[in-house]
Amino acid sequence: MTETLSKSIAGTTGENTTIPSSAAQPRARKKVKPDSPAGQAPKRPGLILATILVGYFMALLDGSIVNVALPSIHEKLHASGAGLQMVAAGYIIAYAVLLVTGARLGRILGHERLFKAGLAGFTIASLACGMAQNTGELVTFRVIQGVTAAVMLPQVLSLIQQTFQGEARAKAMSAWTAVLASGIVVGQVLGGVLVTANLFGWSWRPVFLVNVPIGVVLWLAAHKTLPSVRPQNSAANNKVDLAGVLTLSPTILALVVPLVLGHDEHWPVWGWIMLAATLPLLGVFLAVERRVAARGSSPILPGRVLRMPGIKPSLILIFLVMVVYAGNLFATAIHLQGALGFSALRTGLAFAPCALTFGLVSYYWRKIPAHLIRRLAVVGLLIAVAAMAAQIPMFKDGGYGGAWFYVDQLVFGLGVGLGNAPTMTLALLNVPVSDAADASGTLATNAQLAQVVGIATLGTLYLSVAPGHAVHAAGHAMAVLSVAAVAVTLVAVGFAHHLHRHDKRQRLMAAAAAATAA
């Protein structure tokens, strides 16, 4: 960061930052056009924020709420292991592939329009998921759900930035971060409650149908309250990077599909061919993006965003953390229900301690003294490493640790929250508001793709080491998974340390420049 981190957190980085402060006013205000919502206080700001964050939360929940419903889906629809993984991952695959495009469409057509359109589509897709009659239909509608979520979710951060000012924006951003952090875990808790309740004898279906009445109410609220924001069209930004979408999509699919289906299909040759094609396809995508940028258009992966200080290591760090987080939750949910015989409710509630600490840390981390904030990511990830290492003796002999498991979940949520939330927020500090949609879309795409990879890799590792659901074999599989998760998180610690050293160098350079100027 260009000044001391304490000043950055306090919001003295100026008008062009995406994370303004509750502690200080910007140093200079730009003139705002009269028709811009940024030039006046929003009407009913609490309702606006509640509407967009509940919509955001609902879509995030659907990335994980289905996890504890998988055994019921397997029983009622006779889904295979690969089918279950596609039910879980199909949503996130579509979401990850199209998220940046959704952000760009919001810039072109208007963020409030895209939010309402995505919310309507998401509600209809949720109804279709709840009425699916077989695995194929459910997977198809889950993909459509992911597409509509990719239209809706990128608009939330842009609406916050364009609607709120000063301290109100800082509070809204903290709420957004907490929702982003806790949505996955709360989804598993709520999924357990809904499956166990077995409303109207519908088994797993309320996991999706619950979105319908909520979605209708939110759409009506959005129609009444969301401010109309004039699209930010320009010669460089008024087009969707179709070439980028068409080359990025097969790249992601080539990586994820064989990881998801490989175990159940006994690792066929086509799967290895697809994996081998991932790197060449990535090269094609990067070449296409360079050509798009050279023509003066705006690529789906904006180079100017990636060149901003600290963005690349932050992306890698967030990716590694979310791989471990999502993969561990997915495998643990299957293990508790499939091998240890937990009910859906008990399984969902098992993750409540993790949700509690993750959400609280993500909302309140800014209150920690600035000189400690710089070290939060390293300390938090080391705490997460300790929590995952503690899982090894808990699971390896076929048990789960009893009360210590819940303590461990509490500590795991604390560590991952400390590692992820500050990194996500600080990565956006030096991003101009004009680039906020692309930057937030890139970060969110990175995090969602990491979840896909986590579910695919760690989920496959668990299923491969634990054939069937024999308790001791499954316990050994969880121990092996925990070792792998520890190793990946230690790599993330290395990137967190690099970010800390980078920030320290930036602060020293800024101090030297200030001294020279004086």
Angle ∠(233,251,294) on CA atoms, nearest 5 = 40
Task: Provide the pLDDT for residue 373.
Answer: 73
- Is the dihedral angle over the CA atoms 184, 186, 189, 193 positive or is it negative? negative
| Span of 101-115, 121-135, 373-387 with lowest mean pLDDT | 101-115
Per-residue pLDDT of 268-283, as tens digits, reads 899 899 999 999 999 9
Per-residue pLDDT of 389-407, as tens digits, reads 999 999 888 888 889 999 9
Task: Provide the pLDDT for residue 217.
Answer: 95
Task: Provide the pLDDT for residue 134.
Answer: 93
Q: What is the mean pLDDT of the chain?
A: 79
State the Cα–Cα distance between residues 335 and 342, nearest whole angstrom: 9
Mean pLDDT of 43-60: 88
State the Cα–Cα distance between residues 348 and 85, nearest whole angstrom: 18
State the Cα–Cα distance between residues 95 and 99, nearest whole angstrom: 6
State yes or no: pLDDT of 21 exceeds 50. Answer: no
Q: Which residue has the higher pLDDT, 498 or 478?
A: 478
Contact between 150 and 50 (Cβ < 8 Å):
no
Q: What is the 3-state secondary structure (H, E, C) of 172-193?
A: HHHHHHHHHHHHHHHHHHHHHH
Please report how the helices 111-130 and 154-163 are oriented relative to each other, as an axis angle in degrees rounded to 10.
Answer: 150
State yes or no: pLDDT of 486 exceeds 90. Answer: yes
State yes or no: pLDDT of 16 exceeds 70. Answer: no
State yes or no: pLDDT of 85 exceeds 80. Answer: no
How many percent of the chain have pLDDT more than 90? 26
Task: Provide the pLDDT for residue 127.
Answer: 96
Mean pLDDT of 263-270: 81
Q: Which residue has the higher pLDDT, 157 or 42?
A: 157
Task: Provide the pLDDT for residue 233.
Answer: 54
Annotate 47-66 with b (16+ C-beta within 10 A) or e (fewer).
ebbebbbbbbbbbbbbbbbb
CATH tag, 5-21+43-227+300-517: 1.20.1250.20
Per-residue pLDDT of 400-450, as tens digits, reads 888 999 999 999 999 988 888 778 767 766 666 666 666 766 777 787 778
State the Cα–Cα distance between residues 190 and 61, nearest whole angstrom: 9
Annotate 481-504 with b (16+ C-beta within 10 A) or e (fewer).
bbebbbebbeebbebbeebbeebe
Please report how the helices 403-427 and 166-197 are oriented relative to each other, as an axis angle in degrees rounded to 10.
Answer: 150
Tokens of 337: 């229900």
Most confident option among 138-152, 326-340, 495-509: 138-152
State the Cα–Cα distance between residues 443 and 435, nearest whole angstrom: 12
State the Cα–Cα distance between residues 416 and 361, nearest whole angstrom: 9
SS3 (DSSP) at 449: helix
State yes or no: pLDDT of 509 exceeds 60. Answer: no
| Span of 133-142, 206-215, 365-374 with lowest mean pLDDT | 365-374
pLDDT band at 97 (very low <50, low <70, confident <90, very high): confident
Tokens of 126: 């949720």
Helices (H) and strands (E) in the chain, counts: 21, 0
Tokens of 67: 């996890």
Task: Provide the pLDDT for residue 208.
Answer: 94
State yes or no: pLDDT of 71 exceeds 90. Answer: no
State yes or no: pLDDT of 156 exceeds 70. Answer: yes
Task: Provide the pLDDT for residue 252.
Answer: 80
State the Cα–Cα distance between residues 377 and 164, nearest whole angstrom: 28
pTM of this prediction?
0.75
Q: What number of residues does the chain have?
A: 518
pLDDT band at 132 (very low <50, low <70, confident <90, very high): very high
pLDDT band at 151 (very low <50, low <70, confident <90, very high): very high
State the Cα–Cα distance between residues 327 and 408, nearest whole angstrom: 17
Domain chopping of the chain, boundaries: 5-21+43-227+300-517, 241-299
State the Cα–Cα distance between residues 421 and 415, nearest whole angstrom: 10
Contact between 419 and 495 (Cβ < 8 Å):
no
Task: Provide the pLDDT for residue 376.
Answer: 85
pLDDT band at 3 (very low <50, low <70, confident <90, very high): very low
State yes or no: pLDDT of 310 exceeds 80. Answer: no
Per-residue pLDDT of 444-470, as tens digits, reads 778 777 877 887 788 888 888 876 657
State the Cα–Cα distance between residues 503 and 497, nearest whole angstrom: 10
Task: Provide the pLDDT for residue 322.
Answer: 87
DSSP string of 296-323? T---SS-HHHHTSTTHHHHHHHHHHHHH
pLDDT band at 513 (very low <50, low <70, confident <90, very high): very low
Q: Which residue has the higher pLDDT, 46 or 52?
A: 52
pLDDT band at 504 (very low <50, low <70, confident <90, very high): low
Task: Provide the pLDDT for residue 38.
Answer: 43
Taking CA atoms, 431 is separated from 61, 177, 260, 306, 426, in Å, by: 28, 16, 35, 10, 10
State yes or no: pLDDT of 4 exceeds 50. Answer: no
